[in-house]
């Protein structure tokens, strides 16, 4: 099972999702993250994201931002998007129905009131926004793992 996490810049939300998911995953899973824009390509995650993850024992410091590639739609089984804008961008880049079926909104796997909501962009916020985003992503990762276990 190969999982791709997607946000806008690949320096805040999706690196956290990659790191958190990796910390929970059985070994036969593969997880990576990308952005829909290439503005931060090659950069490490935002230092506030690195610090927030480190506060929870998760190391995301070695990740590097990259934009989504056409090949990702073939390589990955599941593509999780952090917000609606990202979701729509990713859907517009998909080439056929099989690829479209792989794409969902990250929090849609949750069963409670988080369903259909977005992981807000913390880039213009403060450390409390990053902590809030960490908690949301942690819940989303648990929900995705439960769903994948149920379906396998
Ligand atoms: P991310 O956050 O999509 O969670 O990585 C952002 C990072 C950079 C920008 C916007 C959002 N930016 O506009 O540069």
The per-residue pLDDT for 152 is: 67
Which of 46, 83, 121, 138 is catalytic? The answer is 121
| Model confidence band, residue 137 (pLDDT cutoffs 50, 70, 90) | very high
CA 109 remoteness from chain centre: 13
**27 or 129, which is more confident:** 129
Contact 13, 48 (CB under 8 A): no
Of ligand 1's atoms, which has the minimum distance to the CA of residue 39? Answer: 14
Name the CA dihedral angle for 124, 44, 99, 151, rounded to a multiple of 10 degrees: -90
The per-residue pLDDT for 26 is: 80
**Ligand 1: distance of its center to the CA of 128 in Å?**
16
Of ligand 1's atoms, which has the minimum distance to the CA of residue 9? Answer: 5
pTM value surpassing 0.85: yes
Q: Ligand 1 pocket test: pick from 84, 121, 125, 140 the residue with the most ligand atoms within 8 Å of its Cβ.
A: 121
Is the pLDDT confidence value at 15 over 90? yes
């Amino acid at each position: 099972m190969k999982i791709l996490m997607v946000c806008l810049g690949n320096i805040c939300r999706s690196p956290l999702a990659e790191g958190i998911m990796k910390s929970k995953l059985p070994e036969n899973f593969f997880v990576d993250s990308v952005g829909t824009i290439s503005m931060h390509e090659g950069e490490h995650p935002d230092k506030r994201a690195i610090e927030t993850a480190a506060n929870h024992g998760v190391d995301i410091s070695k990740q590097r931002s990259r934009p989504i590639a056409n090949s990702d739609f073939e390589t990955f089984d599941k593509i999780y998007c952090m917000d609606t804008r990202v979701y729509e961008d990713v859907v517009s880049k998909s080439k056929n129905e099989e690829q479209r079926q792989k794409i969902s909104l990250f929090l849609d796997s949750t069963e409670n009131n988080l369903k259909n909501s977005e992981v807000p962009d913390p880039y213009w916020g403060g450390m409390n926004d990053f902590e809030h985003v960490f908690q949301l992503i942690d819940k989303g990762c648990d929900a995705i793992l439960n769903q994948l276990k149920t379906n396998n």
